Amino acid sequence: DVKVTQSSRYLVKRTGEKVFLECVQDMDHENMFWYRQDPGLGLRLIYFSYDVKMKEKGDIPEGYSVSREKKERFSLILESASTNQTSMYLCASSYSGSRSYNEQFFGPGTRLTVL
Amino acid sequence: DAKTTQPPSMDCAEGRAANLPCNHSTISGNEYVYWYRQIHSQGPQYIIHGLKNNETNEMASLIITEDRKSSTLILPHATLRDTAVYYCIVRVASNAGNMLTFGGGTRLMVKP
């Protein structure tokens, strides 16, 4: 059974803290993605990675960075958390090329609250 | 990506078929139709996709009209666990980012 896991389901942090969100997939997928989901705004892509050590900005990368040192792991970093980064964060992965057909597998999400 | 239009909400009786429509009148020839769903407090889940032929898998069937301007996702025997928001997405099958954009979707409520 395919699996994308995220380090926490719920997280509460204070303004200015550095926050790490971890995502691990066990499907040997090349592509990995970080989205945030907010009411009325749908799903928005923050960053994605198509290979180890490779990263590309999505629609809303400001205030975030990412790290992909190993194929199975993709980390999202909030360097200095702010209240407007309170959101549901979703990690996803997929095969690359024609195998993917945009079939992305999502993790359960991390609901982050920044106070 | 082509724009899609879905009804905001639908009800379905448990055990009956749920038919969820999607309009995508500006779809281009190399764009696929994908369906995802999101159950409350969970991440989105891929359901099915198709180009022009009807498709069926263990979760659902996808019926695409001959002109490809609309499609219908069919859950043949809806259960309470199928209550979710269903998203219809139209995209090319390329590796260019593979980012997904979810619109409003249809909130399906399956009732006993």
Q: Report pLDDT digits (tens) over B11-41.
A: 999 999 999 999 999 998 888 899 999 998 8
B100 and A102 within 8 Å at the Cβ level: the answer is: yes
d(CA A2, CA A104): 11
B100 and A104 within 8 Å at the Cβ level: the answer is: yes
Nearest CA in chain A to B91: A102
Question: Is a pLDDT exceeding 80 seen at residue A2?
Answer: no
B43 and A109 within 8 Å at the Cβ level: the answer is: yes
Written as six digits, the tokens of B64 are 């695409």
Using a CB–CB cutoff of 8 Å, tell me whether B46 touches chain A: yes
d(CA A7, CA B57): 31
pLDDT tens digits, one per residue of A69-88: 999 999 999 999 999 999 99
pLDDT score of A39? 85
Instruction: Collapse the DSSP code of A114 into the 3-class scheme (helix H, G, I; strand E, B; otherwise coil) and give the result.
Output: strand
pLDDT tens digits, one per residue of B49-65: 999 989 999 999 999 99
pLDDT score of A104? 87
Q: Computed over its alpha carbons, how large is the radius of gyration of chain A?
A: 13
pLDDT score of A52? 94
* Cβ–Cβ pairs < 8 A, chains A and B: 69
Q: pLDDT category, A115, cuts 50, 70, 90?
A: very high
pLDDT score of B1? 62
How close B110 comes to chain A (CA, Å)?
A: 22
Over residues A96-107, the mean pLDDT reads: 73
A31, A52 in Cβ contact below 8 A? no
Which one of A59, A90, A94 has the shortest CB-CB distance to B98? A94
Residue with tokens 């549901």, as numbered in its chain:
A88
Instruction: Collapse the DSSP code of A112 into the 3-class scheme (helix H, G, I; strand E, B; otherwise coil) and give the result.
Output: strand
Any idea which of A26-40, A97-111, B56-70 has the lowest mean pLDDT? Answer: A97-111
Give A-chain residues touching B91 at CB under 8 angstroms: 102
Any idea which of A34-38, B3-7, B98-102 has the lowest mean pLDDT? Answer: B98-102
At a CB cut-off of 8 Å and minimum separation 6, what does A10 contact?
A110, A111, A113
Residue-wise DSSP of A51-100:
STT--EE-S--TTEEEEEEETTEEEEEESS--GGG-EEEEEEEE--GGGT
What share of chain B has pLDDT > 70, as a percent? 92
